[in-house]
Amino acid sequence: MKFNFMVVPVKRRHLFKYLLAMKLTAVIMFTFLLNVSAKTFSQTINIHQSNVSVEKILKLIKKQSGYNYLYEVTATARTSKIDIDVTNSSVENALDKCFKDQPLTYKIFQKTVVVKARDNEEMQQPADITVKGKITDKASGEPLAGASVRVKGNSSGVATDASGNYSITAPDNAILEVSYVGYLSVEVPVSKNQNVNIALETKGGNLNEVVVIGYGSQKKKDITSAISVVDMSDVKERPVLSVAESIAGKVPGTQVLQPSGKPGADLTVFVRGVASLSGNTQPLYVIDGVVAYDTRSIDPNNIESISILKDAAAAGIYGAAGSTNGVVLITTKKGSKGKTRVDLNMYAGDQQITKKLPLLNSRQLADLLTQEEVNAGNTVFSIPDSTISANDNNWQDLIYRKAPTTGINANFSGGGDKGTYNFSVGYVDQDGIVITSNYKRYSTGLNLEQQMNNWLSAGAHINYNRTNYADIYDNQRANYGGVVLSALTTPPFSSIYNPNGDGTYGYNSFSQGWPNPLADIYGQNNQTVANNILGEGHLQIKLPFHLSYRSQFGITLENAYNTVFQDPRLTDGAKSLGGIASYNTSENFRYIWDNTLTYDQHFGKHAINAIIGTSASKQQDQSSAQSGYGFPSPDIHELSAASNYTTNQTFQDEWTLESYFARVNYSYDDKYLLTATVRRDGSSKLGISNQWGNFPAFSAGWRVSSEDFMKSVTAINDLKLRVGWGATGNLPADLYPSYSQLSTGNNYAYDGTTIVSGTAPSSQAGNPHLRWEETKQFNTGVDISLFNSLLNVTADYYIKRTRGLILPVQQPISTGVSTVEENLPGYIQNKGFEFVISANIIRKTNISWTASYNMSFNRNIAEFPAGTSPIYTGYIQDIGGNAGIVKTGLPLGSFYGYVDDGVNPQTGNINFRDINHDGKITPDADRTYLGSALPKFTFGFNNQFSIYNFDVDVLLDGVYGNKIFDATRMEMEAMTELVNQTTAVLNRWQKPGDITNVPKAVYGNSAPANAVPNYSISSRWVESGSYLKARQITLAYNFKSKWLENLGITKLRPYFSLQNLFTITGYKGYSPELNATSNYGGGSNVATQMGFDHGTYPEAKGFTFGINATL
């Protein structure tokens, strides 16, 4: 529209007054800031200048006319230098000449000239020119294929070809933005300059790198909170099945654990410790703006970038939805303008168990069992030689295998002037190291962006995958069907098949209830098929006044069914019932609708980016469970054929979250940076009277290096100090803690036969006052870039206190209910220091070495008011009660039990320590703190070498100072049951005088005279969990040849990668990362039950051979 107030139609004048008032308000504020005032008055202008800036001319006109000037500084930023020659001219005439060919316009209000940028459509379009050039790596001079080149202000662009060449149509005097993954982005003006070659510098202290933040993006140099960006370059070099795997070892303040070695198993991620007792402890995942509570829908190959928001100032914009645990922001790959680009990654590999445990052979076990019985005073029994010599099975050899993995991922991207696309398909097939276990995933993703016109753009993105998962049972004792423990405890002389010759799998020779591991594995066919969809559609409207409006509607849908069939031909149990089948389904659907209004503007040295928004989301879950037994044929598994039904259930629930938020980023002169955020959330998960909560956050940064006094310090390229404080929230795990409920199924038959349905109070009563778990976090940090960005350091210190911890609190029995979910007094504190140092150690043309080392120290402590009863947790199935404790003054993940002071050489029993000094060992009272599963520090060391055409990538990581409760060893060294044991028990006490740390073998769980049995939960089973792991080592070769280029292959890169090549640890079990209890309860009890190894599926090591190619 024209900048012409006088011809505004009458009916719109009212609105214009409003607009004008708004504008003038801004203008007046600006006047104040510039402290400009009119002093003298003159009506004619005389200027004779050449090659001067518009600003200079404006100043001259002002001086001569006495007119005051108001202008938006950014408006002049794109002006070019001009020549001007006016004599005795009017102000208007001088301005006209001055602004000719400039993207500016003006209006005079009495004695004030308001200068502003011309609206795009009325700007005189400079003639488009074609700009060509080559993009190269600054260090090596090698061309960069696939670099993105676009005109500033346009969303579309082109990509460089194989030789690094590009060609783009741009208005004269446009500015080109050039970016490439791993390199610093640059902006180059192209005025009259039709051949622009650009050498890009590799990332290091990449200050202009754009980082994805909540509801937007920000340049790294402007960030004032604790945000880490994950280097994703290695994801294409190894079979990475999950997002968490791609984060492991790389990010300070983020610990990634692989609690199970099952293919496709969920990983545990802790961002800055653990801060909840019963709620979620895992980070919130936001995938292309869609809040997701896991990443199952994502193939890591489709990920463009991952940012981890660690402190409250960064994560607070996500409020109560779980931001206390950090937020992992994921963006998927988008297309860019240019010809279609195809990236391929194909690989195949093999995996195997990292180690096997040394077990007793048949003869050694027979001796042990005889001794157990004798020591227990039972009738001496002897195992006949014929039994002992019948078999000598090492069951580990029978269940573990070399497990192949294959995968392929293809990515197609491109775009035209108005739209871009990215399409990907992938497939992975990974066998587990335990026979029959397998994970297959078929994935596809589509990402579309379209510029509809100059004010409207829209896009959509959808990820779909389907997984087929064949599972085996672990984390269970052998008598509960746990395969891993069964392989360890089943005696070597037990036979694979039952001796009766009916083809069913056999048992532990001494107990019909303890199937051998092959019976567990083959006895039940456990298959899960899941469909995951994550998608979003959005539209973005460009508004006047530097506003833009965006509306995004996203969904996540997970639909799964699980079938288990126990074949009557294979196990006794299934045989007796004629086959057992179960069929369970679940569907979790969530939508989230976000609407945001963004303001982005610069005034002189002031830059403001502000956003306000709303968000609403709703999750709906449905599940069903059916089971039955008695099938006419073992080949029919459908429940409709069963003769008896044992379960027939359906469930439904839903919950909602409604949010309002705002954020302002302000910077002055790129030196002083401020961010303020506020979010208001309401959720159905909370007490009716406390559904709403507010989450403010503030942070500030000071770029010391931009100060004048630092200009002379050339060694420092960048130095920024950051400080922030804010609040984040966490929701209860329970969906309806606010309501007292009456449970169904409490049926009755008044006449003894006709059942009428009834309801009875559930054991938990509602708490209408339940509120969020709220975390207040203080963070301060520094970013330093030294020696031409050769060395970069980011360090942060934080204190994070979580209050209002939600826990089901025991009620007086007389209330008739057992618990109410309440917000506990007291808090959990996580205090820590973390840093990452990255260095370009060698930076030669053909040889380079970049290294990044990160380290995180976190101290966790629970503080509750005096008199608060401890919570006992970490229940070890059948064999010893609770091994964990939550108690004031101790960290979460604490182990609790007796202290093993060695074996009494006279009795062969353990001398437990008399903790309370009452002269005797008192059950329970003599237990104490035995260490915590939380490490003192974690570290990661990531190296990338480039030697001519070879790349080498080495990722090491580790933890130090954590403890593991080795309940697997409890099974394997207790010597109280008629099961196999590890060779550690060969050192057992056998006669008075024996000096050893392994007590005597006694059958049964009886306590000796000291009242505490030898196998009790004690320091005997607590081990150091420290480790250093070679997570991945990759060697790759880059083919560089004209011949390939002529074939259209711009990149051909075979690679060989080793995963988990070695782990240096003192831990005696399979792997120090495993955790059984995190798998018991779907992750909700992770916080209080960490570091338990109890027959968990072992981790694998392996190699992969693959090829990356770009067409």
> Which residue lies nearer to another protein by CB, 121 or 708?
121
> Which residue lies nearer to another protein by CB, 15 or 947?
15
Should residue 616 be labelled a site residue for another protein when binding is judged by CB under 8 A?
yes
* Residue count (the chain): 1111
Should residue 573 be labelled a site residue for another protein when binding is judged by CB under 8 A?
no
Positions 854 through 913 that interact with another protein (CB under 8 A): 869
Segment interacting with another protein (CB under 8 A) among 479-487, 573-581, 764-772, 1037-1045: 764-772
Segment interacting with another protein (CB under 8 A) among 243-251, 282-290, 614-622, 993-1001: 614-622
Positions 1032 through 1071 that interact with another protein (CB under 8 A): none
Nearest to 862 by CA among 1087, 702, 576: 1087
Reduce the DSSP state of residue 577 to 3 states and report it.
helix
Should residue 586 be labelled a site residue for another protein when binding is judged by CB under 8 A?
no
Residues in the interface with another protein (CB under 8 A) total 71
Window 73-112: contact mask with another protein (x via CB under 8 A): ----------------------------------------
Strands of 214-258, DSSP E = 216-219, 227-230, 254-257
Q: Which residues fall within 8 angstroms of residue 888, CB to CB, at 6 or more apart?
A: 826, 862, 863, 864, 865, 866, 868, 870
Q: Are strands 511-515 and 507-508 parallel, antiparallel or unpaired?
A: antiparallel
Strands of 948-1069, DSSP E = 950-960, 963-966, 1022-1024, 1027-1037, 1051-1059, 1063-1065
Should residue 651 be labelled a site residue for another protein when binding is judged by CB under 8 A?
yes
> Which residue lies nearer to another protein by CB, 4 or 37?
4
Reduce the DSSP state of residue 519 to 3 states and report it.
helix
> Which residue lies nearer to another protein by CB, 398 or 625?
625
**CB-based burial of residue 1005 (10 Å sphere; 0-12 exposed, 13-18 middle, 19+ buried)?**
middle
Segment interacting with another protein (CB under 8 A) among 219-227, 371-379, 680-688, 775-783: 680-688
Residue 595 Cβ vs another protein, minimum distance, rounded to whole Å: 4
Should residue 585 be labelled a site residue for another protein when binding is judged by CB under 8 A?
no
Residue 571 Cβ vs another protein, minimum distance, rounded to whole Å: 20
Should residue 758 be labelled a site residue for another protein when binding is judged by CB under 8 A?
yes
Q: Phi, psi at residue 514, to the nearest 5°?
A: -115, 90
How far is residue 189's CA from residue 169's CA, in Å, rounded to a whole number? 13
Q: Are strands 1027-1037 and 1063-1065 parallel, antiparallel or unpaired?
A: antiparallel
Should residue 141 be labelled a site residue for another protein when binding is judged by CB under 8 A?
no
Window 11-40: contact mask with another protein (x via CB under 8 A): -x--x-------------------------
Should residue 755 be labelled a site residue for another protein when binding is judged by CB under 8 A?
yes
Segment interacting with another protein (CB under 8 A) among 322-330, 425-433, 654-662, 704-712: 654-662
Should residue 656 be labelled a site residue for another protein when binding is judged by CB under 8 A?
yes
Residue type, 841: I
Residue 614 Cβ vs another protein, minimum distance, rounded to whole Å: 5
Distance of CA 811 to the CA centre of its chain: 37
Instruction: Judge contact between 828 and 862, C-beta under 8 A.
Output: yes
User: Tokens in use for 991?
Assistant: 């006669």
Q: Phi, psi at residue 975, to the nearest 5°?
A: 55, 40
- Choose which of 205, 279, 491, 682 interacts with another protein (CB under 8 A): 682
Residue 207 Cβ vs another protein, minimum distance, rounded to whole Å: 33
Segment interacting with another protein (CB under 8 A) among 169-177, 218-226, 713-721, 750-758: 750-758
Between the CA of residue 224 and those of 252, 667, 727, what are the distances in Å?
17, 10, 16
Residue 663 Cβ vs another protein, minimum distance, rounded to whole Å: 16
Residue 1000 Cβ vs another protein, minimum distance, rounded to whole Å: 26
How far is residue 227's CA from residue 215's CA, in Å, rounded to a whole number? 14
- Choose which of 380, 756, 866, 995 interacts with another protein (CB under 8 A): 756
Should residue 1007 be labelled a site residue for another protein when binding is judged by CB under 8 A?
no
Should residue 761 be labelled a site residue for another protein when binding is judged by CB under 8 A?
yes
Residue 617 Cβ vs another protein, minimum distance, rounded to whole Å: 10
Should residue 672 be labelled a site residue for another protein when binding is judged by CB under 8 A?
no
How far is residue 1093's CA from residue 1076's CA, in Å, rounded to a whole number? 5
How far is residue 1074's CA from residue 737's CA, in Å, rounded to a whole number? 32
Segment interacting with another protein (CB under 8 A) among 252-260, 505-513, 560-568, 809-817: 809-817
Should residue 595 be labelled a site residue for another protein when binding is judged by CB under 8 A?
yes
Should residue 123 be labelled a site residue for another protein when binding is judged by CB under 8 A?
no
Q: Which residues fall within 8 angstroms of residue 151, CB to CB, at 6 or more apart?
A: 157, 168, 170, 171, 174, 175, 176, 177
Should residue 379 be labelled a site residue for another protein when binding is judged by CB under 8 A?
no
User: Tokens in use for 541?
Assistant: 């409207």
Residue type, 440: K
Residue with tokens 């280097």, as numbered in its chain: 231
Should residue 584 be labelled a site residue for another protein when binding is judged by CB under 8 A?
no
Q: Are strands 104-109 and 438-451 parallel, antiparallel or unpaired?
A: unpaired
Buried b (16+ CB within 10 A) or exposed e, 253-282: bbbbbbbbbbbbbbbbbbbbbbbbbbbbbb
Segment interacting with another protein (CB under 8 A) among 65-73, 540-548, 578-586, 716-724: 540-548
How far is residue 328's CA from residue 155's CA, in Å, rounded to a whole number? 25
Instruction: Judge contact between 72 and 56, C-beta under 8 A.
Output: no
How far is residue 172's CA from residue 169's CA, in Å, rounded to a whole number? 9
Q: Are strands 216-219 and 210-213 parallel, antiparallel or unpaired?
A: antiparallel
- Choose which of 199, 547, 664, 1028 interacts with another protein (CB under 8 A): 547
Residue 613 Cβ vs another protein, minimum distance, rounded to whole Å: 9
Nearest to 309 by CA among 208, 209, 181, 212: 212
Should residue 59 be labelled a site residue for another protein when binding is judged by CB under 8 A?
no
Residue 24 Cβ vs another protein, minimum distance, rounded to whole Å: 17
Should residue 759 be labelled a site residue for another protein when binding is judged by CB under 8 A?
yes
Segment interacting with another protein (CB under 8 A) among 325-333, 793-801, 804-812, 1039-1047: 804-812
Positions 300 through 339 that interact with another protein (CB under 8 A): none
Window 487-526: contact mask with another protein (x via CB under 8 A): ----------------------------------------
Should residue 680 be labelled a site residue for another protein when binding is judged by CB under 8 A?
no
Positions 688 through 747 that interact with another protein (CB under 8 A): 688, 691, 735-736, 739-747
Residue 580 Cβ vs another protein, minimum distance, rounded to whole Å: 15
Positions 398 through 457 that interact with another protein (CB under 8 A): 455
> Which residue lies nearer to another protein by CB, 585 or 614?
614
Positions 618 through 647 that interact with another protein (CB under 8 A): 618
Q: Which residues fall within 8 angstroms of residue 305, CB to CB, at 6 or more apart?
A: 212, 229, 230, 232, 330, 331
> Which residue lies nearer to another protein by CB, 680 or 803?
680
Residue 604 Cβ vs another protein, minimum distance, rounded to whole Å: 24
> Which residue lies nearer to another protein by CB, 499 or 544?
544
How far is residue 845's CA from residue 947's CA, in Å, rounded to a whole number? 9
Residue 755 Cβ vs another protein, minimum distance, rounded to whole Å: 6
Q: Are strands 175-179 and 186-189 parallel, antiparallel or unpaired?
A: antiparallel
Nearest to 1060 by CA among 1024, 1035, 1033: 1033
> Which residue lies nearer to another protein by CB, 501 or 752?
752
